[in-house]
Amino acid sequence: MTATVEDQIKDTVTQNDVVLFMKGTKTMPQCGFSSRVAGVLNFMGVEYQDVNVLADEGIRQGIKDYSDWPTIPQLYVKGEFVGGCDIITEMTLSGELDQLFEQNGVTYDKDAADKIREANA
């Protein structure tokens, strides 16, 4: 029996602490918004699973239906949808992303997070 796209997405977000559905990959983002979110996670040293929606049309549409969110990238932490580029940028600058990672036991570099805030203050 073939797993549905929804099952694949659910498995991915529940089996990985942090998942970024993005255009491209963490090492080769294919759009500015994906690049920004991947850049934040990479800079903060967060271990995450990247899912290239450009490689699979089913996933590309499926993730929008799954989250009821129209745009890519989409960040998930511990199976919960966090948001897209604007929300992640805002949460990074406000410190909310740090809190979310801390509450969920996700390892990240606090100094790097502080540097992002200093650079954007």
> What 3 state SS string does 20-31 have?
EEECECCCCECC
31 in a labelled binding site? yes
Confirm if 18 and 75 have CB atoms less than 8 A apart: yes
Return the structure tokens found at 46.
């967060």
Q: What is the rounded distance in angstroms from the CA atom of residue 56 to the CA atom of residue 60? A: 6
Q: Please state the φ and ψ torsions of residue 36, each to the nearest 5 degrees.
A: -65, -45
73: preceding bond cis by omega (within 30 degrees):
yes
Where are the alpha helices (H) located in the chain, listed in sequence order? 5-15, 32-43, 57-67, 85-94, 96-103, 110-119
Specify binding-site residues. 31
Specify binding-site residues for [2Fe-2S] cluster. 31
